[in-house]
Structure formats: C-alpha cells, structure tokens
Amino acid sequence: MLDLKYIRENVDRVRKALADRGEIFDLDRLLELDKERRSLISELDQLRHQRKKTARELGRRKAAGEDISSAREAARRIGERIAVYEDRLRE
C-alpha cells in the first residue's frame, strides 16, 4: 500500500505502475478525495482556533461583567460548524 503523500508527489510514476500491472484504479478520484480531506482538515483547524479565541473572549467578558450572549451565540455557531465538518471528514 502506498502513502497518499507519495502518490501526490509521484502521480505519473504511480499511474505508470498501475498501467504496467494492468490495474484499473481511478487515481484521479483518489487524489480529488484526498484534496477534499486535506481542505476539510485545514478548515477544521481554523474553526477550532476561532472557537478557542471565542471562548477566551467569552471568559474575559464574563469576568468583566459584560453581556456574553453574542459571544455565546458565536461559540454555539462555531461548534455547529465544527460538528458538520467532522461529520463530512468521517464520510
């Protein structure tokens, strides 16, 4: 079994090896799915960073006695988006 990074970096070599063996495999679809997966992971990382930032802001506002409803709502929306992305990543 080949590592996805190796496949990405050596597409022509892998394509030729598949052809030489007479294997029928949709390499383009694999690369497309890998690209989507890496994009989802990147977006998830950004959302998690936003969630941490929002949580810090929520704590700061709460300690200062300020209204936290908008920050709480923002944190909830971010959490929902994270759940959606995690579900897509598991597919």
Q: What's the CATH code of the domain at 43?
A: 1.10.287.40
Termini Cα distance of the chain: 21
**In the chain, % of residues over pLDDT 70:** 100
- The model's pTM: 0.79
Structural domain total, the chain? 1
Show the domain range for 12: 4-90
Which residues of the chain are under the pLDDT cut of 50?
Answer: none
Burial 16-49 (b: 16+ CB within 10 A, else e): eeeeeeeeeeeeeeeeeeeeeeeeeeeebeebee
Q: How far apart are CA 24 and CA 39, in angstroms?
A: 27
The pLDDT, as a whole number, for residue 31 is 97
Q: How far apart are CA 47 and CA 78, in angstroms?
A: 7
